[in-house]
Amino acid sequence: MMMSNHSYLRIFENEGHSVVFEQKYDGDVRNTYFRVEETKDGKDKQTSLMTMEGGYLYMDKLIEQGYVGYN
C-alpha cells in the first residue's frame, strides 16, 4: 500500500521564539517522526528530529510555558 508523503504542521510562538513541528513519513506510517525547527528573534535557526512521543511532550511543555499554537 502506497501512502502519500504529506505533512502536518504545528507552530508555537512566544516572545520572539517560534517552534515549528512538521510531521514526516519515512515511507511507512511506523516510521513517522517530527522535524522541529526553532528560531529565536528571527535568527539562530536550529533543526532537529524527534520521535512522535517526544514531539507531543515538547508541545505540551510549550503550552504550559504560555506559547500560542497554530495549525
Per-residue pLDDT tens digits for 22-32: 998 877 767 78
Residue pair 3/25 in contact (Cβ under 8 Å)? The answer is yes
Number of domains in the chain: 1
Place of cell 495549525: 71
Residue 29, in any domain of the structure: yes
pLDDT at position 26 is: 75
Distances (CA, A) of 40 to 9, 20, 59, 69, 71: 19, 12, 17, 16, 20
pLDDT at position 71 is: 78
Q: Which CATH number covers residue 26?
A: 3.10.450
Instruction: Compute mean pLDDT per 10 residues along the chain, 71 residues long, and list them.
Output: 63 95 81 92 91 95 94 78
pLDDT at position 34 is: 94
Residue 2, in any domain of the structure: no
Show the domain range for 66: 8-70
